[in-house]
Each structure stands twice: as C-alpha cells, then as structure tokens.
Structure 1
Amino acid sequence: SLDDARETMKDISYFGTMMVHKGIADGMVSGAAHTTAHTIKPSFQIIKTVPGASVVSSIFLMVMRDRLWAFGDCAVNPNPTAQQLGEIAAVSAKTASQFGIDPKVAMLSYSTGTSGSGPDVDRAVEAVAAAKKADPELIVDGPLQFDAACDPGVGKKKAPESPVAGQATVFIFPDLEAGNAGYKIAQRTGDALAIGPVLQGLNKPVNDLSRGATVPDIVNTVAITAIQAGALK
C-alpha cells in the first residue's frame, strides 16, 4: 500500500536506493553503519539486475606490492554454483578492465590442473567452461592454486601450458568463506589496500562498505562508485 511504501522510505538504505533509481543520485555508498544485507537488499528490489545477469556479485580491488589485482566474490554469494562462478568470472573481468586491469582470470582451487580431484575441482573446471561461454574472448583458466596463479616461477612449474598461471590479475575464489578470508588476510597481514566491495550486475552502482571501514576506505569506495556511474553515461 502507499502507507507501507512511505514507511519503507523512512529506512535510509531504501531512501538512498530510490534516489539512485530515480536519477536524483548517480550512485550510493553504504554499509559503514549497516550490514551488507541492509545495504544490498533494497538494490535487489528497486534497482535490480542488468538484463542477462543471474547473480549480483562483487570484487575487491587489491593494491599490493605495486600491483593492482581483483578478488571476487568476497562479499555476496556464499556457495555459488559452477554456472554462477563462470558468470562472476566474466563480469569481474569487465569490472577490472574499467579500472585499468588487463584481466587474466584464475579460477582458484586447492588443485592446479589435475593435481587434485573431487567435486570442488570439478566445479572449477565447469566454471571455467561457463566463463568462456559467457565471454569467448575471456582469458581464464583453472583450477589453479593461488601460488600457481600469481607467481611466475610456480606457475611455470605447475601449469606450463596455462595462459593465466603466473600472471593472473583477477582471482575468483570458490566461495564466500574462502574469498572473505583471503582478502582480509591480504589486507591485515600483507599490508594490501582493499577497495570495495565493488558490486557487479546491478543496473546502477550501489556499493557496500565493511563496518570496519576507515575514512580512506570510504573515500576510495566513493571514487570507485563515481567511476562506475560515469561509465553508464
């Protein structure tokens, strides 16, 4: 009812999301004082996903050791299917390219190639196939262990024929547990600057902050949101 709608708009997340939807604002950054669900749920209901997208996902831009990498999905999808991982990989590559990253996508696993076996390894193989179907031009490979994906020496030994091993710039984690732990380990012990999460798959830019976000984190995410909004114009 109209009364229910008015009551809903008293919620700051719904109000901000509606401003973006109506074009009053170009994007929204939230989450420093709210949960991820409180930030993202209104965007699912109001802004909705781009045509053809079956999943909303995220990447973190990771600035570390003079390198700029993208980690996905570290904030949204707890247990993505192989098909969803493939879509996340393809969309993450496109997002990464917006920020000057030449995307070479690694589908991460505990196995490199056939060094291990099991359902999770099979899912990584299927995810690579799904990513290539979503974007035939995409440079993607997996399963790859993290060291094989990022270290040229290890990559050459473990996967010498891979177009990605040793030179990956976009890292797709198998699930939210691994991704969230991975980016926070890099951030807290590797002195990496983590910018994000940058949400992907929505019609307009809405980005979430960690409730542990610092002022520089907020400023960086606002800048990222502005870049996303500019790309839509």
Structure 2
Amino acid sequence: MNTLINELKEKVVGKNIRIVFPEGNDARIVATAARLHAEKSIIPVLLGNKDVIAATAREAGVVIGDIETHDPENDPLFDELVAAFVERRAGKATEEQARLTLRDPNYFGTMLVHIGNVDGLVSGAIHSTGDTVRPALQIIKTKPGIKKTSGAMVMIGRSARFIFADVAININPDSADLAETAITSAETAAIFNIDPKIAMLSFSTHGSAKSPDATAVADATHLVRDARPDLVIDGEIQFDAAFVPEVAELKAPDSPLAGNASVFVFPNLSAGNIGYKLVQRFAKLEAVGPILQGLNKPVNDLSRGCTADDAYKLALITAVQAVAE
C-alpha cells in the first residue's frame, strides 16, 4: 500500500490541488485534513463552523493551523454560489430555494468544485452515498457521452492491483451502462498504473449458457469494442476464465485476456458489491474507494465506517483525478 501512496503523491505534490471536505465536524476528516496540510501533498479545505472545527481538531488530537475553512451558514462566497447554483439548475431552483439548499455542506462544497474554487470533493464519512452523489449529478454532471456515473473499487494485493466496477451506484445496468462502466474503469485503471485488460463478467463464457443477462453482457462488450477498439476486452466471460490462465485455455482459448484480466466489470450491483467484499475479506485484499467515475470533476464517496486513513487515501485519489482532468 505504501507503494501506491507514494505513486499518488508523486502525481499531485506541487500541483496545488485543492480538495474540499464538507464534514469538518468529523474527527476522522479533520485528522485527514491535518495530515494532508502537514505533508503539503494537497491543499485541504474544511466546511463547517470554525469553532466546531477547532473543537473537533482538539478531540482528534491534531493541529489544523491555518487550514482554510468555510461556513455554509455564514460565508463571503455564499451569494456568489447562490447565483451560480440558480444558473446551473436552469429554472429548476429559485434564489430562495438555492439559499436553503446551499446550507447543506455537500451542496456548498459541490458548488465550490463547480466554480473552480476547489478541484475535487470527498464526503461520506457521516453522509449517505445519495447525499454525496445527488449534488454531484445535479451540479457537476457527467462527462459528454457518459449518461451515468459508476463506482469503482481498487483492490490491492501484495503484488497486484485490480479494478472492480460497478460496486456502488447502478442496480440493474443495461448494455449501454455496462459499456460506459468498462470504458471509465479503464481510465480509472490508468490512475493506478494498471494496464487495463477488461473482463465483462457473467455466469456464461462465450455463449456457454443462454440467457438475456448473458446476452446483455456480450452486447456491452461489442459496444466497447466499437467505441474504443484500442482497449483489451472480452465478454461475456466467467471470472475463472478471465483470471486463471489454465482455465482460460480450456474455456476461452481465443480470449485476448488469456486469464490475465485486471479490470472486472460486474453484470449488476448485487454481484459487484458482494464480489468485492468477498475478495476483500476472504483473500485479504485491501479495498480503496469507491471512486465515482464519469463525472466532469472529481467527487468521491467514503463509507460511513471509514477510518482517517481511508479518507486520506481517497483524498489523494481525488487529487490525482483532478490532475488527470
């Protein structure tokens, strides 16, 4: 893991990347901000009442020094953000509604990303995924050509790294959704110096079973090949045929993956979420994320069970995404 952290730091140190943390009243987040500030890897920005943030820092046993803070309840930028929010929502919010909405730190922080005051956002330590993702979809929105965001997890072992997606967002993706997830997951892989070899997972390999679910995965594979012929991809394919060379020789001898897949796209959210947690617990791989893919600017969601170290890693990842934009 230290190798990964060093690689991420090398990509962001000296770039003056600013990451906002809406949860300045959480001890884990304040400790993360203090760590980032002390090592000068990225510039943290905390949201919340200044006195509450100071008390939280004392509780966490850290020194925040001159870390920049903003209070959505009383901030010089508030009127500017209100005007920008009304414009961005294009008739879907009045000024009065905007003033109420932007008192929510996630909306306030996302607007800071939108206007370019900061480069990315990390939230979710005390908020649900919906609380973090909803403002991002309304304000940041997805990149051109991408209809839906997806959530990827980086799975880290002693000598290998893998991308698992979608593990967080889309419950029942169709072929187009799966294709988008595959393409954005390949881009995420590059952040972690992973050569993307994409397996579109199914219970079937190359027609070994007949089912609309398997056909949807095969159709998604064709969509990716048409859109990105440069990517190495195969599907529909079973996990063992994608990951074990000896099995690949038997089940999929013509597969370009040859049992060496590094990016695994699951057919639905149940499979993805269960799959990454099984590997995390049984194989003892470290899971980092989820990383939200396909947005115009980086916004990432923590688990409410996260540690300060989890928040620190995700902040570095968010900063690397910002550099890559």
Q: TM-score normalised to the size of structure 2?
A: 0.70
1:161 CA displacement: 0.8
Maintained 8 Å contact 1:86/1:134 = no
Matched, 1:97 2:190: yes
3-state DSSP of counterpart to 1:38: helix
1:49 CA displacement: 1.1
User: How many residue pairs get matched?
Assistant: 232
Deviation readout 1:184-227 (Å, 9 max, x if unpaired)? 11112221111111111111000011112222221111110010
Aligned to 1:9: 102
Unaligned runs of 5+ in 1: none
Relative distance call for 1:214 and 1:165 in structure 2 (3 A) is farther
Of residues 222-231 and 87-96 in structure 1, the stretch that sits farther from structure 2 once superposed is: 87-96
Aligned to 1:163: 256
For 2:158 and 2:272, the matched residues in 1 are separated by 20
Give the residue type in structure 2 aligned to 1:153.
E
2:178 to 50, 61, 85: 85
Aligned to 2:154: 61
For 1:30 and 1:134, the matched residues in 2 are separated by 33
For 1:100-119, what aligned pairs fall within 5 Å after superposition? 100-119=193-212
For 2:189 and 2:126, the matched residues in 1 are separated by 27
Report the aligned-residue RMSD.
1.1
2:305 to 192, 212, 221: 212
For 2:304 and 2:131, the matched residues in 1 are separated by 12
Give the residue type in structure 2 aligned to 1:77.
N
For 2:137 and 2:214, the matched residues in 1 are separated by 31
Deviation readout 1:50-88 (Å, 9 max, x if unpaired)? 111111112111102411000011011111101111111
Deviation readout 1:96-119 (Å, 9 max, x if unpaired)? 112211010000001112221111
For 1:190-229, what aligned pairs fall within 5 Å after superposition? 190-229=283-322
Matched, 1:143 2:236: yes
For 1:114 and 1:183, the matched residues in 2 are separated by 25
Give the residue type in structure 2 aligned to 1:67.
A
For 2:262 and 2:102, the matched residues in 1 are separated by 40
For 2:304 and 2:238, the matched residues in 1 are separated by 30
3-state DSSP of counterpart to 1:164: coil
For 1:105 and 1:175, the matched residues in 2 are separated by 16
Percent identity between the aligned chains? 51
Give the residue type in structure 2 aligned to 1:159.
A
3-state DSSP of counterpart to 2:168: coil
For 1:59 and 1:206, the matched residues in 2 are separated by 13
Q: TM-score normalised to the size of structure 1?
A: 0.96
Higher relative contact order (CA 8 A, sep 6+): 1
1:134 CA displacement: 2.0
Aligned to 2:57: none
Maintained 8 Å contact 1:87/1:134 = no
1:30 CA displacement: 0.7
Aligned to 2:163: 70
Matched, 1:31 2:124: yes
